[in-house]
Structure 1
Amino acid sequence: MSTPIRTLLVDDEPLARGLVRELLADFPRLTVAGECQNGTEALAALQAGAYDVVFLDVQMPDLDGVQVLQRLRAAGHPLPLVVFVTAYDQYAVAAFGLHAVDYLLKPLDPDRFTECVDRVQQQVTQRQTQTLNADLAALLQAWPGRPGSAPPPEYQDRFVVKQPERQFFVPATEVCYLEATGSGVLLHTARATHPVRATLGQLAERLDPAHFLRIHRSYVINTSHIVEFKSWTHGEYLFRMTNGQHVSSARSYNAGIQQFLKRFA
């Protein structure tokens, strides 16, 4: 079912409002939600209520139709779709300057009125679609775990190794495993071992958990470098790495290890 289009009729002549109401009866989607007999009432109604379209007389005793829209816009209120209805065509330029959907001259022609309503319905549908898309985009933006809800965390992709005469990078992808020592951490690669000044806990927090797994309070392994593994004593595991070294786990880290192994079950 199409969403009803809330319609406001504004004209200082009751007969004119009645004619518009009668013509609208052939278009059930347009619901007459309010009527005003002058510009002051119209301004108050548009500020207080949510209308999709207003059929607005231009020439009225207090505020004319153009002034109503000018004041509404100056106050920061969104403008509904506007159809100007008047006996005077000299207001057409001002009307379309306010982005009116249409400009109907009295006496109203039924065929011309039908054309106008078709245009109104098309533009209301377009507005509703744009609003729905904006609301959906905002929902996805705020939804936890959805793209755009927060920037992805930046994981450390390299280590700085400092030596007396030089400093150089070791890519994280080349590290087979990290080992805690009394003075820092050793990075074990396929070709060498490099000391870095940090704690294993600090480095573990910076590394991508999709690739690095804490298996012991002294070891973090790069799961991409596991060659084979087997159950060890007391429920522990023994991992053989691509550099030929064996690294054993601690039972207290079994939950994380088993969660990792489930990926391949």
Structure 2
Amino acid sequence: MPGMNGLDVLAALPPPSRPLSILLTAHDSFAVRAFALNAVDYLLKPIDDLRFAEAVERARQLLRLRAVDDARAAANAPTKHLQKFSVRIGHRTLFIEADSVAWIGADGDYAVLHAGERTYIVRESLHQLAMQLDPARFVRVHRSSIVRLDQVAEFQPLTNRDALVRLRDGTPVRVSRTYIDSLLSALHAAG
């Protein structure tokens, strides 16, 4: 390689973006530097097929471990949940704080935010909103409604295995049997 060797290239890369590397060389004097740069292996020419296969297998194992670590990091990364709803009214756009919304109902392909005495239509489906909201604060209770957990004042089972929740402002919201268990779990977790 003109101007740089493999070790120089590795050293020039920031540590998080360095690829897994197996160094092949005729010189044993670079081994310490290679391992300082986290090389997977350092093979001297002429190479033995078995030794090369071992180095490649070690690299594969490390690659699998990196994938597991990356998946764990992604799972533990804090996710950004919707904090404000963007509501278009004519030529204006209002921003409604999620904390002011007691519950959300479906209206076809739109969602209706219920915030105090006011309602706002959002041009998103209930399904899309449910995926953006913090599940520790908002829970889907029916195919056509989501409630904010801290607004639930009462839970009442019905004879058809559905239920009814009454919000703090007195609003009744039907809970379908499909969502009862997740609602009760979320309410108990919220304490």
Name the TM-score, length of structure 1 as normaliser: 0.45
The 3 A distance-change label for structure 1 pair 149 and 201 is closer
Asked if structure 2 preserves the Cα contact closer than 8 Å seen for 1:191 and 1:243, the reply is: no
Q: Percent identity?
A: 28
Tell me, what secondary structure is at the counterpart of 2:102?
strand
Quote the residue 2:181 is aligned against. Answer: 255
- Which of 65, 69, 72 in structure 2 is aligned with 1:142? 69
What is the Cα-based RMSD across aligned positions, in Å? 3.1
Q: Which runs of 5+ in 2 are unaligned?
A: 1-25, 37-64
Quote the residue 2:59 is aligned against. Answer: none
The 3 A distance-change label for structure 1 pair 160 and 264 is closer
> Given residue 142 of structure 1, which amino acid in structure 2 is its aligned partner?
D
1:233 aligns with 2:135: no
Map residues 3-152 of structure 1 onto 2, 5 A cutoff: 47=28, 72-73=29-30, 76-78=33-35, 142=69, 151-152=77-78
Name the TM-score, length of structure 2 as normaliser: 0.60
Q: Which runs of 5+ in 1 are unaligned?
A: 1-43, 48-71, 80-137
Larger relative contact order (C-alpha < 8 A, sep ≥ 6)?
2
| Structure 1 position 180, deviation (Å) | 0.3
Quote the residue 2:57 is aligned against. Answer: none
* Cα distance in 2, alignment partners of residues 229 and 145 from structure 1: 36
Quote the residue 2:125 is aligned against. Answer: 199
* Cα distance in 1, alignment partners of residues 103 and 117 from structure 2: 12
- Larger Rg, first or second structure (1 or 2): 1
Aligned residues: 137
Q: Deviations over 1:128-186 (max 9, x none)?
A: xxxxxxxxxx99x928656x875322111110111114211001111111100125110
> Given residue 227 of structure 1, which amino acid in structure 2 is its aligned partner?
A
Asked if structure 2 preserves the Cα contact closer than 8 Å seen for 1:214 and 1:220, the reply is: yes
The 3 A distance-change label for structure 1 pair 77 and 169 is closer
